[in-house]
A and B are shown apart, each in its own frame.
Chain A
């Protein structure tokens, strides 16, 4: 669950705060768990929602990405991923702009649809879609840069 928190938080300290708050909520509301679905899923949902609250406290903006980044179509070769470690990927995701990061995590990792994300974040579906596309491009470019650095 700390991994989930790390994907939404700016740094480790914030992630630990989210984790702590989430688990305390789980503990307090344990009696309300209905044994419908997995317990881990229920806890994970609480963690994600708590992380979203933390993000929204900061009043995240869904910024437009810079043109030079969007126009670079990541011609990603499969070989570019071979040496990509999990820690590197986590770091790249953490470095995403807030809006991209939240939408990317919710859609790609948590599996929420754009409609659900729009409802969760009080944004439009189209905003969620565009943020995801831009986040994906941004991430692919960052991976390419990272691979070039490694190659050099």
Chain B
């Protein structure tokens, strides 16, 4: 027997072979069929929810950081034993003015001598106590108003889409989409019947009684309050085109991976600061480096990960990173002038109240230690391409790289200006040395990750990374170029949203 005959023999044998599917298979199919649309909708909405959550988190983070950005430098003065003691039973207003013998700046540090306790209390007055202090810090709030617009789409018969209700005897309503030509055909056919009421009903965007059409029309348009005929043929219009898309047959190149992950991570960071000056007083760079020190930085983020191939993935999310530095200045022979205003209330008789205001000044001399914590904050949108290799069931690795788009950058703290005075960082409209970017643009991210599988849904990962920012945090017209290269170790968890049985389709 030749091969061809053998093949035909096998084919003919098996063509006749029939094995009926057991009943439980059909029941499983029915359950799967009923469950799936809900699940599909759920997953689709979950993606939308995730995107919404990312934007929400970004907004909240931004508002919180805006509030935090108004931090004040901590200052301490030594010398004459300062305290903010306020005597009770007296309304005392204390104003403190600090005079630095070299800078003469004003701060909100208050010093109240013990002499305030010597305030005279002349009668059994029922006075209260209050304090007000000058505060040079100016806070501002940004109010954001959002307006929502709702758009209602109204379908009518003259529109491009209409719903025509077709009712069967069991009362089930099938909705079929119709285009304008279809409606025109309805009109034409109605015109052929000579039923002007029906034509006007169609023109007037109302429905047509089914029973009145049953004798002449193979279709009907539903009306409220009509009695359906026992049988209605399906609506057939010649100009209704079949969908152009091909049947969604499964791919013939094999099952495709369709994993979708959510990754959340925290990272202790180490930053390499590059500080260069082009036109600054000699010694300025040295003074900056001496007064500013590095403190622990960190970053955190959430990202969505979708595979685009068997081993390639794309990641996108929100990343928040914060670089912490400390500015520490020591100023000797600092003089601090303190103004104390004491208000006393004297009630001499019912209805006869006397307010007495005493003003006094005192000056302190000492060494001033000024410590400011600077914070450089970045909110970024990383778009990372990843290539995975290794055994996914045990430990696997990934090489990641991609651009990082800065959404916003904001800073808090102080830096030295060219006269070595502390100058508050401002991203709004600073000049000279105080000229900072509110958006540092695009950076480059590269990392190597190691994943350890915990169970079917969860992996732990450790990802040493490096981010290089092309732009400095200072503006281009600033004579200081302050740039950061951020390195760190992202430690996080990866959660696979796709159930194990559905990861290959």
**Interface pair B6/A76, CB less than 8 Å apart:** yes
Q: Which residue on chain A has the smallest CB distance to residue B37?
A: A28
Q: How many angstroms between the C-alpha atoms of A3 and B36 in the bound complex?
A: 25
Known A50-B250, A77-B1, A89-B17; 11 more pairs at CB < 8 Å: A16-B25, A20-B29, A25-B250, A28-B33, A32-B246, A46-B247, A49-B252, A52-B250, A57-B504, A86-B17, A108-B7
Q: How many angstroms between the C-alpha atoms of A53 and B242 in the bound complex?
A: 29
- List 26 contacting pairs A-B, 8 Å CB cutoff, sorted by A: A1-B21, A6-B19, A16-B28, A19-B25, A20-B29, A24-B29, A27-B29, A28-B36, A32-B247, A33-B247, A42-B249, A46-B247, A46-B250, A49-B250, A52-B254, A53-B250, A53-B255, A56-B255, A76-B6, A86-B13, A86-B17, A109-B11, A121-B254, A122-B254, A133-B3, A136-B6
A62 within 8 Å of B by Cβ? no
Contact residues in B for A20 (Cβ distance below 8 Å): 25, 28-29, 32
A38 within 8 Å of B by Cβ? no
A119 within 8 Å of B by Cβ? yes
In which size bucket is the chain A interface? 35 or more
Q: Mark B28-54, 1 if CB is under 8 A from A, else 0.
A: 110011001000000000000000000
A52-B254, A53-B254 known; A24-B17 Cβ under 8 A: no
Contact residues in A for B36 (Cβ distance below 8 Å): 24, 28
A114 within 8 Å of B by Cβ? no
B9 within 8 Å of A by Cβ? yes
Contact residues in A for B17 (Cβ distance below 8 Å): 3, 86-87, 89-90
B243 within 8 Å of A by Cβ? yes
B245 within 8 Å of A by Cβ? yes
Contact residues in B for A35 (Cβ distance below 8 Å): 242
Contact residues in B for A122 (Cβ distance below 8 Å): 253-254
**Interface pair A120/B20, CB less than 8 Å apart:** no
Q: How many angstroms between the C-alpha atoms of A28 and B251 in the bound complex?
A: 16
B505 within 8 Å of A by Cβ? yes
Contact residues in B for A23 (Cβ distance below 8 Å): 29, 33
Contact residues in B for A28 (Cβ distance below 8 Å): 33, 36
**Interface pair B14/A34, CB less than 8 Å apart:** no
Residue among A6, A31, A53, A87 with most chain B CB within 10 A:
A53
Give the contacts of B8-24 with A (CB-CB under 8 A). 9-11, 13-14, 16-22
**Interface pair A53/B505, CB less than 8 Å apart:** yes
Q: How many angstroms between the C-alpha atoms of A20 and B247 in the bound complex?
A: 18
Contact residues in B for A69 (Cβ distance below 8 Å): none
Which of A49, A54, A108 is in CB contact (< 8 Å) with B10?
A: A108
Q: Which residue on chain B has the smallest CB distance to residue A23?
A: B29
- CB of B14, distance to nearest CB on chain A (Å): 6
A20-B32, A24-B36 known; A119-B248 Cβ under 8 A: no
Q: How many angstroms between the C-alpha atoms of A77 and B22 in the bound complex?
A: 37
A131 within 8 Å of B by Cβ? no
**Interface pair B247/A34, CB less than 8 Å apart:** yes
Which of A29, A84, A136, A140 is in CB contact (< 8 Å) with B13?
A: A84
Q: How many angstroms between the C-alpha atoms of A90 and B11 in the bound complex?
A: 11
Q: How many angstroms between the C-alpha atoms of A112 and B265 in the bound complex?
A: 49
Residue among B3, B9, B247 with most chain A CB within 10 A:
B247
Contact residues in B for A3 (Cβ distance below 8 Å): 14, 17-19
Contact residues in A for B248 (Cβ distance below 8 Å): 25, 29, 32
A-B pairs with the 3 shortest C-beta distances?
A49-B250, A53-B255, A56-B254
Contact residues in B for A84 (Cβ distance below 8 Å): 13
**Interface pair B25/A31, CB less than 8 Å apart:** no
Q: How many angstroms between the C-alpha atoms of A22 and B39 in the bound complex?
A: 18
A52-B254, A108-B11 known; A2-B247 Cβ under 8 A: no
Contact residues in B for A87 (Cβ distance below 8 Å): 17
Residue among B6, B33, B252 with most chain A CB within 10 A:
B252
Q: Mark B232-260, 1 if CB is under 8 A from A, else 0.
A: 00000000001101111111111100000
A7 within 8 Å of B by Cβ? yes
A3-B19, A6-B19 known; A90-B252 Cβ under 8 A: no
Q: Which residue on chain A has the smallest CB distance to residue B254?
A: A56
A25-B250, A42-B247, A50-B250 known; A57-B13 Cβ under 8 A: no
Q: How many angstroms between the C-alpha atoms of A63 and B277 in the bound complex?
A: 68
Contact residues in A for B33 (Cβ distance below 8 Å): 23-24, 27-28
Q: Which residue on chain B has the smallest CB distance to residue A42?
A: B247
**Interface pair B20/A2, CB less than 8 Å apart:** yes
Which of B18, B247, B251 is in CB contact (< 8 Å) with A29?
A: B247
**Interface pair B10/A16, CB less than 8 Å apart:** no
Q: How many angstroms between the C-alpha atoms of A1 and B18 in the bound complex?
A: 8
Contact residues in A for B28 (Cβ distance below 8 Å): 16, 20
Q: How many angstroms between the C-alpha atoms of A60 and B427 in the bound complex?
A: 61
A67 within 8 Å of B by Cβ? no
- CB of A9, distance to nearest CB on chain B (Å): 12
Q: How many angstroms between the C-alpha atoms of A81 and B5 in the bound complex?
A: 11
A45 within 8 Å of B by Cβ? yes
**Interface pair B252/A86, CB less than 8 Å apart:** no
Contact residues in A for B18 (Cβ distance below 8 Å): 3
Contact residues in B for A90 (Cβ distance below 8 Å): 14, 17
Contact residues in B for A53 (Cβ distance below 8 Å): 250-251, 254-255, 504-505
Q: Which residue on chain A has the smallest CB distance to residue B252?
A: A120
Contact residues in A for B13 (Cβ distance below 8 Å): 84, 86, 89
Q: Mark A30-48, 1 if CB is under 8 A from B, else 0.
A: 0111110000001001100
**Interface pair B247/A109, CB less than 8 Å apart:** no
Contact residues in A for B25 (Cβ distance below 8 Å): 2, 16, 19-20
Contact residues in B for A107 (Cβ distance below 8 Å): 7
- CB of B176, distance to nearest CB on chain A (Å): 12
- CB of A31, distance to nearest CB on chain B (Å): 7
